[in-house]
Amino acid sequence: MEKTRVIFAVTLLCLLLPELNVVTNAQDGAATEPITPALFIFGDSLIDNGNNNYLFTAAKANYFPYGIDTGGPSGRFSNGLTVVDYGARYLGLPYIPPFFSITSFGKNILRGINYASAAAGILDETGRHYGQRTSLNGQISQFQETLSLKLPPLFQNQNELSQYLAKSVFLIDIGGNDYLNNYLQPQRYDSSRIYDGESYADLLMNTLTSQITRLYNLGARKMVLVGSGPLGCIPSFLSKSRDNGCVESVNNLIIPFNSRLIQMTNTLNQSLPGSYFVYQNIYDLFSDMTHNPSKYGFSEATKACCGNGRAGGEVTCLPLQQPCPDRNKYVFWDSFHPTQAVNAIIARRGYSQYATDCIPISIYQLAQL
């Protein structure tokens, strides 16, 4: 009975915590005031900040010890903040509320909305075994709803709204689940029997191109396309590795996805008038972190801080499980996701004035255009 009360209390708390402005500290290289009107976020569990709390799904992070370093669980799949939490601050923006949050209305949405949903993918079928999730198509439909119903009352006319959208930044960080929770699960999905790695990457790019074009037609002009990290190096795959090293067969699937995403960035910059696309390279940085953790201040890159079984990757972080005490020394928080410390580094190298991991310009520079 006592455990039931605790879990019930945690569930209530997690519905409140996403509303808090948990990102409060100044960051080196951050703007002191907004350099873009808003940040609209589309993606998966790497940047979901509470949307899945409101869905019937197994893909949730609404329980302790998630959020242990920011006051409690908020729905973020981390011990603390995500890359976009830090990223918003670098752009001079406040915390961006999740779409399903009770605070996502009125003037609160003028700085942007986070539509990201854990287990979501580019393909609608991706992640279906978890239950409800909002695919990228669904997230764009939610943005369309925002554009039709919530934003117009906040502007004097359509032209003013269009200028606001054109100056805002749209970030799309999705695709990992199309491998983790689709292609690499042949017992649940047919994709790996239908496509080889190259043709599957083509399928994802063709689908994503249509989705991004849809966003463009809704008014988005400045967009960030985030590449996938080396999925073969996460604890979930390390737990299956014979030599405790990265599973290169998995990483080799990601390489054509990322190379096509870079090509898409260049193509769309030329084919969509008035648009500007930036590619954020996650793969190289994260790969270096896993192979040279001490270079970034980490001591553990082959085991989850909160997980179970070999490498902490066989079963991910469970409710009320005791995580490692030295979380800032770990690259991985759970079986799939990085720690807050890693997210801070990724954000600094993509969003700050000193960013180095984006092409052709940084997200900070994109926001200033």
Catalytic residues: 45, 334, 337
Edge-to-edge strand ranges of the sheet holding 276-280? 39-43, 169-173, 222-226, 276-280, 358-359
- Sign of the torsion formed by the C-alpha atoms of 342, 335, 56 and 9: negative
Contact (CB, 8 A) for 206 and 131 = no
Instruction: Provide the 3-class DSSP secondary structure of residue 57.
Output: strand
Contact (CB, 8 A) for 256 and 183 = no
Distance CA 208, CA 277 (A): 14
Distance CA 352, CA 27 (A): 9
Distance CA 130, CA 45 (A): 13
Closest by CA position to 54, among listed 170, 142, 157: 142
Distance CA 331, CA 302 (A): 8
Q: How far apart are the first and last CA of the chain?
A: 57
| C-alpha count within 13 angstroms, C-beta hemisphere, residue 95 | 22
Contact (CB, 8 A) for 301 and 331 = yes
Please write down the HEC assignment for all residues of 288-332: HHHHCHHHHCCCEEEEECCEECHHHCCEECCCCCCCCCCHHHEEE
Other CB atoms closer than 10 Å to residue 308's CB: what's the count? 17
